């Protein structure tokens, strides 16, 4: 398998899994266990390709938030998105500066997939018992910001799953509303993460030559497949539960745990 084709495959995997509650980072690291490891810059920047996709899907919503400051509801929603992003940045940046790195083995990711799947099943059941509500509160914004940090520290958790189900448990139990808030707050979060990773590359790792052509291929692949995936998911969550994703996570995680050699 050529390096370019491997990069293309990784981009497709990223685009398909970034917005599904199955962990894109976890899937990338699992794939790289067999396709060959990539740099943190590669892993984070191709996520930005998927974020470009969600920006295109939500372009009208984003434009209304940017131009609708005269409307109190629009203004409050924008401020809550900003608060969630600020919490992620204020908590996540110190974690990064302390030297956090992605794990080099698949085992912790497999465990995170299993435990995350169980958590999704429990969280959705608990959320359904609460009164129907579609409004984002300030508390929900803070918790979503913290959930993004947890997902970033523990690959396999899934940023979208953490954000969606924390929001649902905190009272935003309409799945489409929770998904929309999670996706929108992911836009500045992932763009900031990609920018920071690029800055780190320029300042701290000048000797490491990134394969820019392969990165570009993966970025475009993630953008195209991400656009398709998020459009599909937004329609899916209007009519279905997240049970299928939870079962998939558990089955994949157990398969990895049972099939991996010791130390993998």
At which residue do the structure tokens 């465990």 appear? 111
**Chain centre distance of CA 137:** 21
- Residue 197's pLDDT band, with cuts at 50, 70 and 90, is confident
Q: Which residues of 141-151 are buried (b: 16+ CB within 10 A; e: fewer)?
A: bbbbbbbbbeb
Is the separation of the CB atoms in 58 and 229 below 8 Å? no
Q: 146 to each of 88, 116, 179, how far by Cα in Å?
A: 6, 16, 16
Q: 160 to each of 51, 116, 219, how far by Cα in Å?
A: 12, 12, 19
- Residue 205's pLDDT band, with cuts at 50, 70 and 90, is low
Q: How far separated are the first and last CA of the chain, in Å rounded?
A: 22
66-111 per-position pLDDT tens digit: 998 889 999 999 999 999 999 999 988 787 666 666 565 788 888 8
Q: Which residues contact 97 (CB under 8 A, 6 or more apart)?
A: none
For the chain, which residues make up each domain, given as ranges? 3-259
pLDDT, greater one: 171 or 82: 82
Mean pLDDT across the chain: 86
Token representation of residue 247: 């079962």
Using CA atoms, how far apart are residues 48 and 82, in angstroms rounded to an integer? 18
4-31 per-position pLDDT tens digit: 899 999 999 999 998 889 888 788 888 8
Q: 239 to each of 118, 184, 223, 231, how far by Cα in Å?
A: 21, 21, 25, 14
Tell me the pTM. Answer: 0.85
Report phi then psi at 110, rounded to 5. -60, -45
Using CA atoms, how far apart are residues 230 and 224, in angstroms rounded to an integer? 10
Using CA atoms, how far apart are residues 198 and 41, in angstroms rounded to an integer? 6
């Amino acid at each position: 398998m050529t390096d370019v084709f491997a990069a293309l495959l990784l981009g497709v995997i990223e685009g398909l899994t970034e917005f599904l509650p199955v962990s894109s980072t976890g899937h990338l690291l699992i794939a790289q266990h067999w396709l060959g490891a990539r740099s943190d810059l590669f892993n984070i920047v191709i996520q930005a390709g998927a974020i470009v996709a969600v920006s295109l899907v939500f372009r009208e919503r984003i434009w209304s938030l940017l131009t609708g400051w005269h409307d109190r509801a629009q203004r409050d929603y924008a401020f809550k998105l900003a608060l969630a992003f600020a919490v992620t940045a204020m908590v996540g940046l110190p974690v990064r500066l302390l030297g956090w790195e992605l794990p080099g083995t698949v085992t912790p990711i497999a465990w995170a997939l299993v435990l995350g799947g169980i958590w999704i099943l429990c969280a959705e059941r608990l959320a359904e018992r609460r009164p129907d509500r579609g409004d984002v509160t300030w508390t929900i914004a803070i918790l979503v910001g913290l959930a993004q940090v947890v997902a970033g520290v523990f690959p396999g958790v899934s940023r979208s799953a953490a954000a969606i189900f924390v929001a649902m448990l905190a009272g935003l139990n309409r799945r489409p509303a929770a998904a929309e808030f999670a996706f929108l707050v992911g836009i500045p979060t992932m763009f900031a993460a990609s920018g920071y990773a690029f800055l780190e590359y320029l300042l701290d790792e000048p000797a490491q030559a990134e394969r820019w052509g392969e990165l570009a291929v993966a970025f475009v692949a993630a953008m195209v497949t991400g656009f398709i995936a998020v459009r599909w998911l937004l329609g899916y969550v209007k009519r279905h539960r997240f049970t299928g994703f939870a079962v998939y996570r558990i089955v994949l995680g157990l398969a990895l745990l049972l099939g991996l050699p010791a130390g993998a």
